[in-house]
Amino acid sequence: MKKTKLIVLGLVENERGEFLLSQRNDPDVPEAHLKWDFLGGKNEFGESLEKTLEREIFEEAGLRVRVGDMFPKSISRVWDHTLFDLHVVVFCHHCKLVSGETHLNDPKIYDLKWVKKEELADYDFLPTTQFFVDMVLKN
């Protein structure tokens, strides 16, 4: 079976200029398990990408954000799951933290961490997220 999902990620920045990373907990997908990512998720029927981000970031980490500009490119990738192949199309927006206390609220997230821009190169990201990290590091 083949499935396609539209995913939107948020590069969340706090008032200190740090970015929020999430570590995946996904043992069923070994190439994703314990890799680092940005918060976000699947676009639901009828939602704008901005609404998806606001909802997902609040559900996953208890944070309210202001969704800003979208990165100028998207990425497409096929992941091999046990029961199906998953094609994802991923978009990313820069987001500013508005309020909330960071907490883990999703079984698919192992850890959350705020890091400085220059520390981004030290993390092992999902390939789709690395695409956007590379754009951040070039600026």
Q: CATH number, domain at 58?
A: 3.90.79.10
Residues 6+ apart with CB under 8 A from 6: 42, 43, 88, 89, 91
The SS3 call for residue 129 is helix
pLDDT attached to residue 29:
78
- What does the pLDDT read at residue 139? 80
3-state class (DSSP) for residue 11: strand
CA neighbours within 13 Å on the CB side: how many for 67? 21
Q: Which position has the higher pLDDT, 83 or 111? A: 111
Burial classification of residue 20, based on how many CB atoms lie within 10 Å of its CB (0-12 exposed, 13-18 middle, 19 or more buried): buried
Q: Which domain holds residue 26?
A: 2-138
- Between 72 and 26, where is the model more confident? 72
Q: Is the pLDDT of residue 85 over 80?
A: yes
Q: Does the pLDDT at position 90 exceed 90?
A: yes
Contact between 38 and 12 (Cβ < 8 Å)? yes
DSSP assignments along 36-70, one per residue: EE-EEEEPPTT--HHHHHHHHHHHHH--EEEEEEE
**What digits encode the pLDDT tens for the residues 3-29?**
999 999 999 999 999 999 999 998 877
User: What is the average pLDDT value for the chain, to the nearest integer?
Assistant: 94
Report how many domains make up the chain: 1
